[in-house]
Chains A and B, each alone.
Chain A
């Protein structure tokens, strides 16, 4: 019997010994484990191409003091490339590079100096690259990042910088986002031709544009948003975005006509404080209908108050195809400095006839089509999503516009 006990004991020790020969895995920290699984090479996550054509017409141009054509077209394109990799601690680095190019033509721009009309309607290009870097802890969802941006067009240059921060609750049902941004802009001062020094009607006039000079316009804003999952079908987002601008906030080539028949270039205060507060509610009604709503209240120190409400109802025709009709309504109480053509008080310090800043209400109605089949749009695997949107805009100041947008996402 003793032999049997001895054999069992030896057999058991043999088992233990055989285990002892296996190299037991070192208990790894969560981050180290992530690093083992994630590629450190920079890889392309997705590429978005957005292209839009915008066309507007109206008869209250601010360049000619509140009368005249507002005909404008804009062909706008952006491409953004999102790349990512993981550092040694398993944190995700995301790089988002965006390049935008607009080509626009504005009939009213020709009215700044009618003697130099270059075409049926003056055209220009705007180019605006930007780069964002964000570092994310994928376990907690917390992230922070920085953005640098630039924008250039004929009479306007802008340098921008931003810092963004994201914090998630432990159960990931609450998310707080903060964004601080600054735009340092420089605007070439262009006056209407009849207000330029040395100009006399009917006489030969050659303007030296090098003497025009420029003026700064700086914008600083903070954006605080809180999103909350309410239940498995409803989530909400609240946004507060205070902003402050100073510098040349008036558009100096826009004319203003006074009750005494005089004419001056637009003049507005050099400081502007804005406070928009907004909320979004998204509700998954059933397998076919989703309700997206948005409301914003806006106020600033120029006296503008506005309410904006939007509703969009995506209808899922299949799991991968949806049609989204939408309607947006905006009601605005205009700035105290606005008066229509020829109705400005000659004693006023600030004045504008820009209808964008006037009492108005507007409607924007349209629909979007979204395709995201698992085998790629039109069978092209790399084309992950395609969205086409069309909207028609009607403003109470007789301005109408149409915009059509195409968004293609490649993965």
Chain B
């Protein structure tokens, strides 16, 4: 993937995030029953911790997914 395309992807992500934040409404606590659903948890699932761990070792990129960025090896 060339650098120009990567830049477009990043810009699109930032623009989409900003437009989302700009359009947000003040949600009252009693309106959060859907947001508080266990499936809506914004973190990675607890059961994903080992999946992320092996992906960390099998791929060069790591971080920003709730997994660790160092410490311990387990890398054979």
Contact = CB atoms under 8 A, between A and B. Distances in A.
B59 A229 contact: no
Contacts, number: 229
Interface string B34-76: 1101111110011111110111011111111100111111111
B62 A227 contact: no
B1 A305 contact: yes
A151 B38 contact: no
A305 B6 contact: yes
Contacts of A331: 1
Contacts of B37: 284, 290
A276 B63 CA distance: 6
Contact of B55 (A239, A279, A364): A364
Interface of A: 48, 50, 52, 54, 56, 63, 72, 74, 76, 78, 102, 104, 106, 108-109, 126, 128, 149, 151, 153, 155-156, 158, 160, 171-173, 181, 183, 185, 187, 217, 219, 221, 223, 227-241, 243, 245, 251, 274, 276-282, 284, 290, 292, 294-298, 300, 302, 304-308, 314, 316, 322, 324, 330-335, 356-357, 360, 362, 364, 368, 370, 372, 385, 387-389, 391, 393, 395, 399, 401, 403, 405-407, 409
A270 B10 CA distance: 29
B24 A173 contact: yes
Interface residues of B, number: 52
Contacts of B42: 227, 235, 237, 280, 282
B55 A387 contact: no
A297 B6 contact: yes
Given A307-B1, A364-B55, 19 more contacts: A156-B72, A219-B71, A230-B20, A230-B21, A230-B25, A239-B65, A251-B75, A282-B41, A282-B42, A290-B40, A296-B65, A298-B64, A314-B39, A333-B1, A368-B47, A403-B54, A405-B48, A405-B50, A406-B47
B74 A183 contact: no
